[in-house]
Amino acid sequence: MRRALLLWPLLLALALPAHADARLSVLVDVLRLEEVAAILREEGLASAEDLDADMLNGQGGGGWQMQVEAIYDPARIVESVRTALDAELEGETLEEAVDFFASDLGTRIVTLENTAREAIRAPDVEAAARLRYAELSETLNPRLEMLRLLVAGGDMVERNVATALNSNYQFMRGLADGNALDATEDQMLADTAAEADAIREDTESWLYGYLLMAYSPLSDAQLQSYIDFGATPAGQALNRALFAGFGAAYEDISYALGRTVALNMTAEEL
């Protein structure tokens, strides 16, 4: 009996990581990260067409398409975010995040966000969303003021700007490492920093336009519940994890794109 009791702490210690990993998987599921990654992949493939036109004279062809499809791997994006979630959430914060996004409201929010993210890929929808924000930003619109609280609570504008700047820098690094860009690290950093104000302005316009569209079906009370969750330790930890995870994924993707563009440019010259 004494031996069995001595074994109990060990068995408990072995069980806890497995349980935590299972709950993390539940969080990944309720956040529908695989769906998010698939949407981001489609965005990336569309952007790659512009890269082909702008940097490869539209001559990338099937090889470029295959390379880009491999770079925008949804499984790697999900794994990057999962790793960040694992680092930021545990115990009570993990359970609170699962509980919120498994609720009817949390489920609806994720659905609205993903639906809007897909819709805003269309240029006319994006233009309308930006215009809506521009019009409301000149007024004291109650819904916009609520969204300002949500955005400020998660430092969403500056975090998005940082992600964009880091991604741009990594893209240039990829070009330079592939011998398609002759620039020192200091020059690349300076070029990246010079874009900050323009990126911030563009980010604010896109973000608020997107949020106004995504959350328009929510009542003020429902949106306030989301704002309140975002202010909790669980909400803050989740926000940090999502930005860290997606940020790391975008940096890896951007570097790989830079190297791949460089490879194709070199092949063209040959």
Per-residue tokens: 87: 């680092």
Mean pLDDT value across residues 104-110: 98
Nearest to 81 by CA among 240, 206, 207, 205: 240
Percent of the chain whose pLDDT exceeds 90: 84
Give Cα 146 to chain centroid, integer Å.
Answer: 22
pLDDT in tens, 198-213: 999 999 999 999 999 9
CB 34 within 8 A of CB 74: yes
Nearest to 48 by CA among 69, 32, 30, 33: 69
Distance between CA 22 and CA 1 in Å, rounded?
31
Cβ burial of 220 (10 Å; 0-12, 13-18, 19+) is exposed
Question: 0.85 cut: is pTM over it?
Answer: yes
Does residue 268 have a pLDDT over 70?
A: no
Q: What is the mean pLDDT of the chain?
A: 91
Tell me the pLDDT band of 267, cut-offs 50, 70 and 90: low
What are the domain boundaries of the chain?
20-269
